[in-house]
Amino acid sequence: MRVAVVGHTEWVRFAQVPRIPRPGEIMHASASWEEAGGGGAVAAVQLLRLAGQATFFTALGDDDYGRAALHRLEELGVRVHAAWRAEPQRLAFTYLDGDGERTITVIGARHAPHGSDELPWDELAGVDALYFTAGDTTALRRARQAQVVVATPRAREALAEGGVQLDALVRSGSDAGEKIDTAALDPPPRLDVVTEGARGGHWTAVEGDTGRWAAAPLPGPVADAYGCGDSFAACVAYGLGAGLPVGDALALAARCGASCMTGAGPYAGQLSLASPA
């Protein structure tokens, strides 16, 4: 399979703490590290670990953090096509607490690829599965060259204006930032997938069929939830691109989400089905 992501990247500092500090409190982290993250980056690495290769179309700040993000993603094995922006690279600070929850503060504007960027967009014509996290309407239309396109509602402006039918829209049922009126999308997504954490989730097809899936058992102790949602969504794209029935694609995606939760940060626990090409 050929897989790709069109989306955003953040440079993230992680801090492991027993709990989120109260206002005015000083708390010592038991561990701290920096990593390339953000939904697009997380999904690209997850798809790499499923398919053995992955291509990532993104935009990066033309500074040390942006170059560090590019270097790290290439080090992980992702093939990156980056448009460079004059504005600073978007940063994020993430608390990872003792219950495995992640609490994120982002710093700076999110850089998204534009369809007018001089990137090799024609490569997407041969892609089997693609996950879209950020980009303008032209980037979304270029992404639609792929056989299967899955997106997050955080790219709502492009989704609302792009006039592109998604094969699936994947969103959290508890995250206010991912609430969207799918009926307002024209055309509506073929599949609306709503996650419900430990309860699994439910899906609705454009034809009216509905169903549920169960959360997958964790393959190890909980580490943290950072990256679980985008690992799940990337796996939905992979499963549908591989021709799996909806139920099987969502069951595989549930395994991806559960596996990611057992590693510190976004990549240590991600499910792997293939060796990098």
Structure-block tokens of residue 169: 């829209």
Does the pLDDT value for residue 75 go beyond 50? yes
Answer yes or no: are the C-beta atoms of 134 and 110 closer than 8 Å. yes
pLDDT of residue 217: 96
267 assigned to some structural domain: no
- Residues 80-111 have pLDDT tens digits of 999 999 999 999 999 999 999 999 999 999 99
Does the pLDDT value for residue 182 go beyond 90? no
Domain that holds residue 225: 3-22+32-260
- What's the burial of 172, exposed, middle or buried (CB within 10 Å: 0-12/13-18/19+)? buried
Segment holding 16, helix H or strand E: strand 10-16
274 assigned to some structural domain: no
**pTM score, two decimals?**
0.95
Does the pLDDT value for residue 192 go beyond 60? yes
- Residues 208-226 have pLDDT tens digits of 999 999 999 999 999 999 9
- Residues 28-48 have pLDDT tens digits of 999 999 999 999 999 999 999
Q: How many structural domains does the chain have? A: 1
**For residue 35, which of 250, 226, 171, 277 has the smallest C-alpha distance?**
226
Mean pLDDT of all residues belonging to the chain = 96
For 272, the 3-state DSSP assignment is: coil
Distance between CA atoms of residues 112 and 133, nearest Å: 9
**For residue 264, which of 92, 71, 97, 41 has the smallest C-alpha distance?**
97
Answer yes or no: are the C-beta atoms of 91 and 69 closer than 8 Å. no
Dihedral sign, Cα of residue 11, residue 72, residue 45, residue 49: negative
| Averaged pLDDT, 54-70 | 98
pLDDT of residue 181: 86
pLDDT of residue 64: 98
27 assigned to some structural domain: no
Distance between CA atoms of residues 113 and 140, nearest Å: 10
270 assigned to some structural domain: no
Structure-block tokens of residue 36: 């390339």
pLDDT of residue 133: 97
125 assigned to some structural domain: yes
Q: What is the CATH number of the domain that holds 234?
A: 3.40.1190.20
The residues facing 50 across adjacent strands are none
Segment holding 192, helix H or strand E: strand 191-195
pLDDT of residue 166: 98
Q: How far apart are the first and last CA of the chain?
A: 11
| Averaged pLDDT, 234-245 | 98
- What pLDDT band is residue 276 in, cutting at 50, 70 and 90? very low
76 assigned to some structural domain: yes
Segment holding 234, helix H or strand E: helix 228-241
pLDDT of residue 176: 82
- What pLDDT band is residue 174 in, cutting at 50, 70 and 90? confident
- Residues 241-271 have pLDDT tens digits of 999 999 999 999 999 999 999 999 999 999 9
209 assigned to some structural domain: yes
- What pLDDT band is residue 277 in, cutting at 50, 70 and 90? very low
275 assigned to some structural domain: no
- What's the burial of 205, exposed, middle or buried (CB within 10 Å: 0-12/13-18/19+)? middle
Q: Any idea what DSSP says for residue 83?
A: E
Answer yes or no: are the C-beta atoms of 241 and 143 closer than 8 Å. no
